[in-house]
Amino acid sequence: MSTAETPRQEDLRRARTRVAAARLRAAPGGRLARLRLFGLLAGPGILVFLGENDAPSMLSYAATGAGFGIGFFLPFVATTFGLGFIVQEMAARVGAVTSHGHAELIFDRFGPFWGHFATTDLLIGNFLTLVTEFIGVRAGLGFFGVPPAIAVSGAVALVMLSAATARYATWERIALGLALCNVVFVPVALLSRPDWGAVGHAMLTWSPLPGGLRPDTLTLMVANIGATVTPWMLFFHQGATADKGLDSRDIGALRWDTAMGSILAALFAIAAIIATAPLFAHGISAQNWEGAQFAEAIEPYVGHAGAALFALGIFEAGAVAAITISTSSAYAFAEVLRKPHSLNTPLSEGWVFYAVLAGSSVLAGLIVLLPGMPLEQVVIIVNVIAVLAMPPALVFLLLIINDPEVMGVHRNGRGWNIAGVGVTALLVLVGLAYAASVLFPRVLGA
């Protein structure tokens, strides 16, 4: 066999997933076989949503609970995850049908200008978000007295070690294991002894927004949307679906995987709001607080164990997101340069991919070690930027997923197009409303 015909390592490793899936489909066993098949195929959807329950997101939810308590924002946050499901289902479907990443398809279908535009937009947003992830790591471990340099360098090392296996399956298991630790916010919420009647009433009736729509409230609303619908999720989910070796036969499983991810992430996000709601009930201002300060403030209401779990949750959220976001940047950058872009690729072949993954993490970590970083202001701003950057990425996604040459019979139907266009229009309107609140604050009663 000639060198040109030799299969690449990444293709061989993806083929193993296909062979294993084919064996499970052919095996008898009914429901048990289907569960084993789902266990093999699931991962990208759960990981993309739990990865987006990152340090900025969880701190936005903590600020929401401390600022507004249990009420309007519980169903609001649940709704944002519904929007996220619509977007991520389409991204996973494109990845399964085309076996290509988002940046690669934009480059192929719309040309180098738009390919570079989309990638540059993503890389800037991803880097800003990476900075906040390491701030979250630093703040979370700060509760336990861990020096910032050790906390941040440890998280950077974790990012590198997770990718060092050069196998997507191993990387996914490591990332998923860490991501599922997001569940720690649930026991913290339980320890806060919430009024479950108030929680149920809020979810079922959608209470009015306390104090009306003010600029600060609108900023928090935009930040919460940016905690569930962001450009990096598109690039990561589509790239991970292709990297895992999934194809059009797996679309049903991918849809369930994405739904499970959105439900779990919504549950953990709502738990974070409930956990800090006692601060609102007792009139404690949490403006511009960092992760360790939230943990210390809720300690009288959830105990030391609850406060420690909250701080660990912020650390975990930042660490997992650092892994997934740096991988999203590496996918996009290497795709556009036509370089190997897979976690199944050996370092000698995919050095550009791994250099972006490692380099972005190291640089973001170094910035975080600079003194005087205003955490809460930065995390809110980053989530707002994510919302403002999302409509262009969604337009590309909608154009691709409706292209019959690309998607064939798996292109969007009317229902998915209505949902996709609706999400895009909503994000545009939210962006315009936020811009108006900044330019004309008196209109919203600032």
Backbone dihedral region for residue 166 (phi beyond 0: left; psi -120 to 50: alpha; all else: beta): left
At position 113, the amino acid (one-letter code) is F
Domains of the chain: 53-444 (1.10.4160)
Q: Smallest Cα–Cα separation from 302: which of 269, 279, 270? A: 279
Residue 72 DSSP symbol: T
Q: What are phi and psi of 229, to 5 degrees?
A: -130, 100
C-alpha span between 389 and 60 (Å, rounded): 18
Reply yes or no on whether the pLDDT at 185 is more than 90. yes
Q: Which tokens hold the place of 401?
A: 């997923």
Predicted local distance difference test score (pLDDT) of residue 268: 94
Predicted local distance difference test score (pLDDT) of residue 342: 81
CA distances to 67, 75, 127, 185, 221 from 209, rounded to whole Å, are: 12, 11, 33, 24, 11
Reply yes or no on whether the pLDDT at 8 is more than 80. no
pLDDT in tens, 332-344: 888 888 887 788 7
C-alpha span between 82 and 23 (Å, rounded): 34
Q: Smallest Cα–Cα separation from 147: which of 138, 135, 156? A: 138
Half-sphere exposure of 285 (CA within 13 A, CB side): 2
CA distances to 103, 431, 432 from 395, rounded to whole Å, are: 13, 15, 17
Reply yes or no on whether the pLDDT at 6 is more than 60. no
Q: Mean of the pLDDT values across residues 12-22? A: 68
Least confident of 27-31, 126-130, 159-163, 401-405: 27-31
SS3 145: coil
Answer yes or no: are the C-beta atoms of 230 and 57 closer than 8 Å: no
Reply yes or no on whether the pLDDT at 273 is more than 90. yes
CA distances to 85, 99, 102, 253 from 413, rounded to whole Å, are: 16, 21, 20, 19
CA distances to 36, 252, 257 from 28, rounded to whole Å, are: 12, 20, 23
| Angle between helix 112-142 and 375-401 (nearest 10) | 150
pLDDT in tens, 354-397: 898 888 899 988 888 877 656 556 666 666 676 677 788 888 89
Residue 143 DSSP symbol: T
- Better-scored residue on pLDDT, 310 or 16: 310
Residue 34 DSSP symbol: H
Q: pLDDT tier at 236 (50, 70, 90 boundaries)?
A: confident
Q: Mean of the pLDDT values across residues 97-115? A: 86
> Which pTM does this prediction carry?
0.85
Answer yes or no: are the C-beta atoms of 126 and 356 closer than 8 Å: no
Reply yes or no on whether the pLDDT at 414 is more than 80. yes
| Angle between helix 231-244 and 44-52 (nearest 10) | 150
- Better-scored residue on pLDDT, 419 or 429: 419
pLDDT in tens, 84-95: 999 999 999 999
pLDDT in tens, 297-330: 888 899 999 999 999 998 998 898 899 889 888 8
Predicted local distance difference test score (pLDDT) of residue 2: 38
pLDDT in tens, 40-94: 888 899 989 998 888 878 888 888 888 888 888 899 999 999 999 999 999 999 9
- For residue 295, give every residue at least 6 positions away whose Cβ sits within 8 Å of its Cβ, in sequence order, or none: 140, 143, 307, 308, 310, 311, 314
Helices marked H in 282-413: 291-336, 351-368, 375-401, 404-407
Mean pLDDT across the chain: 82
Answer yes or no: are the C-beta atoms of 291 and 79 closer than 8 Å: no
